[in-house]
Amino acid sequence: MAQTNLEKQINILDYALSSLWRRRMKSLNVLLVFAAVIFLLASFQMVTQALSDKAKQVLVYTPEITVQKMSAGRQEAIPLAYRDKLARIFGIRRVVPRIWGYYFDEVLLANYTVMGMDVEEMPEGSRLDTTLASGRMPTPDEQGRVVIGHSVKKALDLEGRTTFSFFRPDLSLKAFTVSGEFSRDTDILTNDLIVMNLADARDLYAIPAGMVTDLCVYVANPKEIDTIARKISEALPSVRVLTRPQIQKTYQVVFGWRSGFGSICLLSALAAFVILAWDKASGLSPEERREIAILKVLGWETSDILAVRFWESVIVSGLACILGITAAYIHVVYFAASLFRPVLMGWSVLRPDLHLLPRMAAGDILLILAFTVIPYLAATVIPAWRSATVPADSALGG
């Protein structure tokens, strides 16, 4: 009774499944190693995408243009008087002075980012007080009030109390009271951030009156950012002008560089796996060669033997993909990509406790499949093809 092609394919699939089961320890080992490689690649891809997305979301709170004074190639304080010069440039909506600095905690060996700004001066839509989980921003008149990021709260152990102190440059202590907390949604920017009013920041860093570190420029038409930045450079030759798109690009470059670095490491691991798979598969054991020869003698076509190998590889790599991508999703969502955080988040002690929402486009999945499944298929089917095309009489012996 002749079989239909479908029945034949079902028989081949059945044989492939039973073949995998017969070599279950070997199959399981390959599956686990393969799944681990895909897990690493998919995790990396998901977390890089999620971080880039997050950065894009929160960069809306950064000023459209930041102006800093430069001297000998280094940043120095900028006179508040520059504010008036900037205000005369057509297209600038508002100029907000800011003191931006870092405070190194010698006990915890952690750096906090300190921002002194009178938030009420910021335009609607860019105001940081919209990112608060609780409390409110300090007003220009309120002394010693701060809003802190999540990791600052944890590091300074501010669960049961609301006050802490930092040293001024002359080693006298300045006390602060927490008046609000940033939302976890903006952790990527606010995790290590302490926001206070301008007067407190000037006091903490002993910055002379009439000086700040940056001038934040908000423009009327965001499409004119580059034009206005050029005008500022022309009007104030000694300043550095940073635009929001440039900062966005910097984030992308940093994540891109870090993910590139990680990808190279992971691709090396992948290459090692493919070489291993090739070595294993091309070194078909005498039993496997004998099996192929017996099958040919019994009437199996070369294409049937390749189909068995193909289905075996598809089953192993398909399962490995499902396992690897699922594990990567769990790793990113439930464990906040803990394996890659040191690489992707930098080396700060106060790493954001991120809640990432992984995004994976069909193209990303196809890319992972292209880098994993195709080499594996080639590494298993080609050696089988080489064995299946030699004369089958080797099984007869004698």
Partner 1 sequence: MIIECKDLTKTYPVESTMVHAVNTVNLSINKGDFLVILGHSGSGKTTLLSLIGGLTAPNSGQVFIDGVENWQQSDRALSTMRNSKIGFIFQFASLIPTLSVMENILLPLSFGQNPAGSRDLALDILDQVGLADKANAFPSQLSGGQQRRVAIARSFINCPDIILADEPTGDLDEETEKDILGLFRRYNEQGTTFVVVTHNSDLAATQKGARVFSMRQGVLSAQGA
Question: How many residues can be counted in the chain?
Answer: 398
Residue of the chain from 254, 294, 327, 378 that contacts partner 1 (CB under 8 A) = 294
Binding mask 334-373 for partner 1 (x = CB under 8 A): ----------------------------------------
* CB of 297 or CB of 361, closer to partner 1: 297
DSSP 353: -
- Burial (CB < 10 A; 0-12, 13-18, 19+), residue 340, is buried
**Binds partner 1 by CB under 8 A, chosen from 76, 120, 157, 301:** 301
What is the spatial distance between Cα 209 and Cα 125, in angstroms, rounded to a whole number? 29
Judged by CB under 8 A, which stretch of 177-185, 202-210, 297-305, 345-353 contacts partner 1?
Answer: 297-305
In the bound state with partner 1, the residue whose beta carbon lies nearer, of 26 and 56, is: 26
Binding of partner 1 by 290 (CB under 8 A): yes
CB 19 within 8 A of CB 26: no
Contact 185, 353 (CB under 8 A): no
User: Is residue 298 a contact point for partner 1 (CB under 8 A)?
Assistant: yes
Q: Shortest gap between Cβ of 260 and partner 1 (angstroms)? A: 45
AA letter at 89: I
Distance from first CA to last CA of the chain, Å, rounded?
34
Residues in contact with 105: Cβ distance below 8 Å, sequence separation at least 6, in sequence order = 111, 112, 155
DSSP string, 115-169: EEE-GGGSPTTS-GGGGEEEE-PPPTT-TTEEEE-HHHHHHTT-SS--EEEEE-T
Does 214 participate in binding partner 1 (rule CB under 8 A)?
Answer: no
Among residues 76, 84, 185, 393, the one that binds partner 1 under rule CB under 8 A = 393
Complex with partner 1: residue 7 or 185, whichever CB lies closer: 7
Closest by CA position to 113, among listed 153, 67, 149: 149
The pair of structure tokens assigned to 180 is 């609000």
Task: Please state, in angstroms and rounded to a whole number, the distance separating the CA atoms of residues 119 and 192.
Answer: 18
Q: Which is nearer to partner 1, 319 or 395 (CB)?
A: 395
Selected from 150, 296, 331, 351, the binder of partner 1 by CB under 8 A is 296
Report the distance separating Cα 289 and Cα 34, nearest Å. 24
Q: Which is nearer to partner 1, 41 or 384 (CB)?
A: 384
What's the DSSP call for residue 41? H
Q: Using the minimum distance from each CB to partner 1, give the nearer residue, 29 or 165.
A: 29
- Report the distance separating Cα 380 and Cα 181, nearest Å: 56
Interface size with partner 1, residues (CB under 8 A): 32
Choosing from 295, 336, 356, 368, the residue that interacts with partner 1 (CB under 8 A) is 295
Q: Does 85 bind partner 1 (CB under 8 A)?
A: no
Q: Considering the complex, what minimum distance in angstroms separates the CB of residue 391 from partner 1?
A: 4
Is the CB of 11 or the CB of 57 nearer to partner 1? Answer: 11
In whole angstroms, the minimum distance from the beta carbon of 284 to partner 1 comes to 14
CB of 289 to partner 1, least distance (A): 12
Q: Is 286 in the site for partner 1 (CB under 8 A)?
A: no
Residues binding partner 1 (CB under 8 A): 1-3, 7-8, 11-12, 15, 18, 22-23, 287, 290-291, 294-304, 391-393, 395-398
